[in-house]
C-alpha cells in the first residue's frame, strides 16, 4: 500500500505553504492580527545569530500557540537512553545484533523505542543516539517531540505516516525522513507493523555532503528532498504531549491537537528522501574507495571533514573495479561505525548481518569481510557485476558509541560475532 501525498522539493529551501488560502501573512511575519484568527509562533532550531547559511527557523500560523498545554511530569524512560551513557562500560569489542522482535503486545512509537547506543552528550549538543523502533500500533491521542535532537528515520519494515506540525510525510523501506529537533509529531502505521532505525542527532542539523571535484551534480541532489505541505488538525479532546528532554521522558495534558498549524514558512521542516535517487559515484578503474563516497547527509562537528555524524548508504550499483579486492577492505578507523541493513545482503558479511540487525565497530576496533567473503572475492573473476538486493547503511561518528546495557546484555547480541573472522587462513609463503 502506498500513501500519495503532496510534497515540495529542494533541500533546506525557504518554503511557504498554507492549507487555507490567505493564512500566510505576506511581507511580514507578525501582523497585528493574523488572518483566520491564527496565532504567529517562531520556531528556531539554530541560534538567532547563526550565520545566514546555517540559520534554520520557521514561522507557524496556528490555531493556538504552543504555550497552551499542561505542566510536564516525568514518565518512565522505558528502554530509551541518552548520551552520555554511564550505565555500562564500553569495551572495544566488535559487536553485532539480531533484529529486535516485533512486539506481541500493543506498542506505539513512543513505547516501541529501544536505544542501542549513544555518543557525545545530548546536553552539550554533541554526538547522536541510535534507536530502533518496532511497533504494531499508531499513536492514539498522543503526540511527541524531541528537544534533544533531530531524528533521522531509516525504515526497514512497513510503512509509516509522520503527522507533523508542518504536514504529513509517508516513508517506507528505501526511503528516509528527518524530523527537526522540537517539531511535534505522531507516528501512524500504514502497514500493520513497522520497524526501523533512528539516528537522533544532538549536534549540528544534517546538511548535504560536499561534492568536491565531482562538481555541481551527483551523490544526493538537493531537488530530491521532499517537504510536506501544510495540513492541520482542528480537534479538541483529552490528549497527551510526550517530550524527550535532556535525556528523560515527560508527559503533559493537552486539550487539543498540537498539529494545528494552518500555514508555515521557513527552512526547518521535516523532509523525506528516496535513497534510490542517490547518484552513486565510484571507481571505474581500480581499488575500493572509502565509504565517504556514499554519504547522503552529514552533521558537521566543527572540525572540517570530521563529522559529528555521517549517514552513508551502500545501495545497488555496478561494480567494475579491475585487479581489485572488491568488498570493503580490512579496516581500523579513528571514526566509529554503527551499521544497519535495510534490505538484502551486505557485501562484507553474507551471513549473520540480516535486515533489521546492527553492527558496531568503534574507534580502532578491527573489522572487514568475513572469512568466506575473503576467499570468494580474492578468487572471483572480475567481470562487471551488478550488486542487486542490497541496501546497508552506516552512522559514522567521530565520537565512540557506548552501547546501552540493553544492547550489551539483551538477547539480540550475537555472542559469537568474531567467529566470522576466526577461520581466516594464513596464506603467507615466506
Ligand atoms: O563495512 C564497513 O565497515 C563500512 C565500510 C565500507 C566500505 O566500503 C569501506 C570501509 C568501511 O569501513
Ligand atoms: Fe569500516
Res. 2: pLDDT tops 70:
no
Does 127 fall in a domain? Answer: yes
Give yes or no: residues 153 and 302 share one domain.
no
Neighbours of 369 (CB within 10 A): 26
Distance CA 202, CA 121 (A): 8
- Residue 380 pLDDT more than 80? yes
Of the candidates 275, 302, 319, which is a domain's last residue?
A: 275
Cα 291 to averaged position of ligand 1 atoms, centre (Å): 6
Torsion of CA 21, 258, 168, 140, to 10 degrees: -140
Q: Are 188 and 168 in contact (CB under 8 A)?
A: no
Cα end-to-end span (Å), the chain: 60
Note whether 251 and 370 are same-domain residues: no
Closest ligand 1 atom to Cα of 333? 12
Q: Are residues 181 and 293 in the same domain?
A: no
Q: Which ligand is nearest to the CA of 312?
A: 1
For 326-370, the pLDDT digits (tens) are: 999 999 999 999 999 999 999 999 999 999 999 999 999 999 999
Residue 331, annotated as binding a ligand: yes
375 lies in some domain: yes
Q: Is residue 395 situated within a structural domain?
A: yes
What's the CA-to-centroid distance between 289 and ligand 1, angstroms?
Answer: 9
- 427 domain residue, yes or no: no
Decide which of 275, 303, 321 is a domain's last residue. Answer: 275
Distance CA 355, CA 279 (A): 23
Provide the pLDDT for residue 4.
Answer: 82
Evaluate whether residue 368 is within a structural domain.
yes
Dihedral-angle region of residue 145 (phi above 0 means left; psi in -120 to 50 means alpha; beta otherwise): beta
247 and 295 housed in the same domain: no
Residue 98 forms part of a structural domain:
yes
What's the mean pLDDT in 90-101?
A: 98
Same domain, yes or no, for 121 and 191?
Answer: yes
Per cent of the chain over pLDDT 90 is 99
247 and 356 together in one domain: no
Mean pLDDT of the chain: 97
Say if ligand 1 is within 6 A of residue 341 CB. Answer: no
The model's pTM: 0.98
369 CA distance to ligand 1 middle (Å): 9
- What is the pLDDT, as a whole number, of residue 3? 73
Q: Is any ligand 1 atom within 6 A of the Cβ of residue 12?
A: no
**Marked catalytic residue, from 131, 204, 256, 288:** 288
Q: pLDDT (tens digit, 9 = 90+) per residue, 195-212?
A: 999 999 999 999 999 999
Annotated binding residue at 156?
no
| Residue of 282, 291, 310 best suited for mutating to test ligand 1, as the one with most atoms within 8 Å of CB | 291
Assess whether 310 and 403 both reside in one domain. Answer: yes
Q: Does 60 map to a domain?
A: no
Three-state secondary structure call for residue 258? coil
Looking at all shown ligands, the one closest to residue 340's CA atom is 1
Task: Say how far apart CA 16 and CA 314 lie, in whole Å.
Answer: 34
* 329 C-alpha to ligand 1 centroid (Å): 7
Q: Are residues 297 and 400 in the same domain?
A: yes
Q: What is the DSSP string of 23-86?
A: -S-SS-S--SS-GGGPEEEEEESS-TTS-TTT--EEEEEESS-TT-S---EEE--TB---SSP-
Cβ atoms 98, 354 nearer than 8 A = yes
Whether 392 lines ligand 1, by a CB cut-off of 6 Å, is: no
- Is 306 found in the same domain as 167? no
In terms of domains, do 183 and 311 share one? no
Please say if the pLDDT value at position 1 is more than 80: no
Rounded Cα–Cα distance for residues 407 and 208 (Å)? 30
Please check whether residues 340 and 226 belong to one and the same domain: no
Residue 37 falls inside a structural domain: no
% of the chain at pLDDT higher than 70: 100
Q: Which tens digit of pLDDT belongs to each residue from 260-309?
A: 999 999 999 999 999 999 999 999 999 999 999 999 999 999 999 999 99
Q: Is 361 annotated among the ligand-binding residues?
A: no
Last-in-domain residue among 219, 246, 275: 275
Annotated active-site residue 288? The verdict is yes
What atom in ligand 1 is closest to the CA of residue 367? 3
CATH value at residue 308: 2.60.120.10
Q: How many domains does the chain have?
A: 2
CA distances from 177 to 253, 264, 269, 424 (A): 28, 19, 11, 39
**CA–CA separation, 103 vs 158, rounded Å?**
14
Question: Do 235 and 322 lie in a common domain?
Answer: no
Q: Which domain holds residue 386?
A: 277-422
Output the CA torsion 250→251→252→253 (10° steps). Answer: 180
Amino acid at each position: 500500500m502506498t500513501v500519495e501525498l503532496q510534497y515540495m522539493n529542494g533541500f533546506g529551501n525557504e518554503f511557504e505553504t498554507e492549507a487555507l488560502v490567505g493564512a500566510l501573512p505576506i511581507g511580514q511575519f507578525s501582523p497585528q492580527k493574523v488572518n483566520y484568527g491564527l496565532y504567529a509562533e517562531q520556531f528556531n532550531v539554530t541560534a538567532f545569530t547563526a550565520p545566514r547559511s546555517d540559520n534554520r527557523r520557521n514561522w507557524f500560523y496556528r490555531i493556538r500557540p504552543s504555550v497552551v498545554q499542561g505542566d510536564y511530569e516525568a514518565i518512565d524512560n522505558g528502554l530509551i537512553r541518552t548520551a552520555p551513557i554511564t550505565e555500562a562500560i564500553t569495551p572495544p569489542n566488535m559487536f553485532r545484533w539480531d533484529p529486535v522482535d516485533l512486539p506481541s503486545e500493543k506498542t506505539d512509537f513512543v513505547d516501541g523505542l529501544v536505544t542501542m547506543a549513544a555518543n557525545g552528550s545530548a546536553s552539550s549538543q554533541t554526538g547522536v543516539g541510535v534507536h530502533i523502533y518496532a511497533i504494531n500500533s499508531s499513536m492514539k491521542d498522543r503526540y511527541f517531540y524531541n528537544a534533544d535532537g533531530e531524528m533521522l528515520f531509516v525504515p526497514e519494515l512497513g510503512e509509516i505516516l509522520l503527522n507533523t506540525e508542518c504536514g504529513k510525510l509517508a516513508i517506507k523501506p528505501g526511503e528516509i525522513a528527518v524530523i527537526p529537533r522540537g517539531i511535534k509529531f505522531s507516528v501512524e502505521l500504514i502497514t500493520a507493523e513497522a520497524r526501523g532505525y533512528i539516528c537522533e542527532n544532538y549536534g549540528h542539523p544534517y546538511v548535504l555532503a560536499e561534492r568536491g571535484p565531482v562538481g555541481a551534480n551527483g551523490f544526493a541532489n538537493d531537488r530530491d528532498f521532499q517537504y510536506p505541505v501544510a495540513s492541520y488538525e482542528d480537534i479538541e479532546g483529552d490528549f497527551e504531549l510526550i517530550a524527550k528532554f535532556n535525556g528523560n521522558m515527560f508527559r503533559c495534558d493537552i486539550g487539543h491537537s498540537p498539529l494545528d498549524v494552518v500555514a508555515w514558512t521557513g527552512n526547518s521542516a521535516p523532509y523525506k528522501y528516496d535513497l534510490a535517487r542517490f547518484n552513486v559515484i565510484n571507481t571505474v578503474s581500480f581499488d575500493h574507495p572509502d565509504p565517504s563516497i556514499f554519504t547522503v547527509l552529514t552533521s558537521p562537528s566543527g572540525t572540517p571533514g570530521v563529522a559529528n555524524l555521517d549517514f552513508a548508504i551502500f545501495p545497488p550499483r555496478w561494480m567494475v573495479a579491475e585487479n581489485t579486492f572488491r568488498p570493503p577492505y580490512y579496516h581500523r578507523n579513528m571514526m566509529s561505525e554503527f551499521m544497519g541493513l535495510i534490505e538484502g545482503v551486505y557485501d562484507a558479511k553474507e551471513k549473520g548481518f540480516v535486515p533489521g540487525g546492527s553492527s558496531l565497530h568503534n574507534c580502532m576496533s578491527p573489522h572487514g569481510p568475513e572469512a568466506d567473503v575473503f576467499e570468494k572475492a580474492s578468487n572471483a573473476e572480475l567481470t562487471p557485476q551488478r550488486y542487486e538486493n542490497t541496501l546497508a547503511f552506516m552512522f559514522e561518528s567521530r565520537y565512540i558509541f557506548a552501547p546501552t546495557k540493553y544492547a550489551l546484555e539483551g538477547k539480540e547480541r550475537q555472542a559469537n560475532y568474531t567467529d566470522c573472522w576466526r577461520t581466516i587462513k594464513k596464506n603467507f609463503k615466506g
